[in-house]
Amino acid sequence: MSNRYTIHRRSLLGGGAALAAGAAFPALAQDNKRIVIGTWGGDYSRLLAKNIETPLLAPKGWDVVKDEANDPPRRAKVLAEKSLRRGTSDLQGVSAANMYEMNEQGTLEQLDYSKMPNAANLIPAMKYPYGIGHIYSGKVILYNPKLMQAPASFADTLNPKNGAKLGIIDIQYQYTMLAAGMAAGGSVSNFEPGKELLVACKKAGARIYPSNEAFAQALKTEEIACGIMWKARAVQWQNAGINVSTVAPKEGVPMYISGFVMPKNAPNKAGAYAYLDAMMAPSAQEGFAIDMGYNPTVTNAKVAPDLRERIGFTEEEQKRLVDLDYGYMAKNDSAFKEWWDKSFKG
């Protein structure tokens, strides 16, 4: 049932589609057992169906429709629909940073946690007034133990001495600037000290890859020996046979949180709450830990000790987990991207 009505990007986006949203799905808006979810495609969408929709929602008669696209066009559509009485989606999957930005734009419902029994077990850091963390991981150091000794910090990794052994991911520009800032004495609220360090790394031969997948391929072929990435991704690459180990950096471990928000004009808020509650069920959270390598955001999910050791953080490392300054990142994102493209990559 969950995948039967998957709707792809070109059928929802473009031109006047967003502004005509009120008429786009008249049947969906009237069907109180149908939940429209904006989400990424690929494995994430498949695992939402496997762990949440098919086992927990379909038996109760809920029918999930997916609007699959990257998050920038989905966020743009929610903003374009802001003035409409009824939007076209009930939930949107975005990062915590983008949750903050959407809330600042005035597009999000402030959640009533009393409507979600499973929220009683939600980790406090994953509970936002305007959204819920579904999965989380941390930005860690990745290295090939065959090619180098384990770095202890971001400063050890983002070091010009590593030359061409260092790989940097283009689409991770904000988080790379954050890591470099922390390495150079900055913080989650001050990336500026890291700029000089990144330029020095580039001049020393650091390689820049356009995507996470290209970076993984470079690790696999041993073109590079180290870099920084989400721990969950490293687990996936380990599962794929890539020789990569991880270290929680001593400066702190920036968290990545992905979750869901509800547009103010969601046509089926009852369905949205049902989905959010199912998302927090222990079985759903455990499934994502096994299938995707991300940590559960609820305290009652049971993860096998060997898996927890691979995807999670020790008690000492947990003390170094740091949430991001989403206001700072949203305010400066355009300037960060301009500096990255012109002064760093250029």
CATH of residue 299's domain is: 3.40.190.10
Do the domain assignments include residue 270?
yes
Do the domain assignments include residue 151?
yes
Asked if 71 and 153 sit in the same domain, the reply is: no
Asked if 304 and 318 sit in the same domain, the reply is: no
Give the tokens for residue 33: 């057992």
- pLDDT, tens digit (0-9, with 9 covering 90-100), for 11-35: 333 434 443 444 344 444 446 899 9
**Structural domain boundaries enclosing 105:** 7-135+258-311
The predicted structure's pLDDT at residue 144: 98
Rounded to the nearest integer, the mean pLDDT of the chain is 90
Asked if 323 and 304 sit in the same domain, the reply is: no
Asked if 230 and 323 sit in the same domain, the reply is: yes
Do the domain assignments include residue 116?
yes
Asked if 203 and 250 sit in the same domain, the reply is: yes
Asked if 96 and 83 sit in the same domain, the reply is: yes
Query: Nearest CA to 5 among 51, 66, 87, 91?
Result: 66
Asked if 28 and 66 sit in the same domain, the reply is: yes
Residue 277: pLDDT band by 50, 70, 90 thresholds? very high
Do the domain assignments include residue 2?
no
Asked if 144 and 34 sit in the same domain, the reply is: no
Asked if 331 and 281 sit in the same domain, the reply is: no
Q: Rounded to two decimals, what is the model's pTM?
A: 0.76
The predicted structure's pLDDT at residue 41: 86
- pLDDT, tens digit (0-9, with 9 covering 90-100), for 278-300: 999 999 999 999 988 899 999 99
- pLDDT, tens digit (0-9, with 9 covering 90-100), for 294-333: 999 999 999 999 998 889 998 899 889 998 999 999 899 8
Do the domain assignments include residue 327?
yes
Beta strands in 24-119 (DSSP E): 34-39, 63-68, 91-95
Do the domain assignments include residue 17?
yes
Query: Token pair 């076209």 is at which residue?
Result: 88
Asked if 62 and 76 sit in the same domain, the reply is: yes
Kindly report the length of the chain: 346
Q: Are strands 253-261 and 91-95 parallel, antiparallel or unpaired?
A: antiparallel
The predicted structure's pLDDT at residue 323: 85
Contact 266, 103 (CB under 8 A): no
Give Cβ neighbours of residue 292 (< 8 Å, ≥ 6 apart). Answer: 43, 44, 47, 135, 232, 236
The number of distinct structural domains making up the chain is: 2
CA distance linking residue 134 with residue 29, whole number of Å: 25
Asked if 274 and 330 sit in the same domain, the reply is: no
Do the domain assignments include residue 85?
yes
Asked if 240 and 297 sit in the same domain, the reply is: no
Residue 120: pLDDT band by 50, 70, 90 thresholds? very high
For the ranges 1-15, 77-91, 151-165, 201-215, which has the lowest average pLDDT? 1-15
Do the domain assignments include residue 1?
no
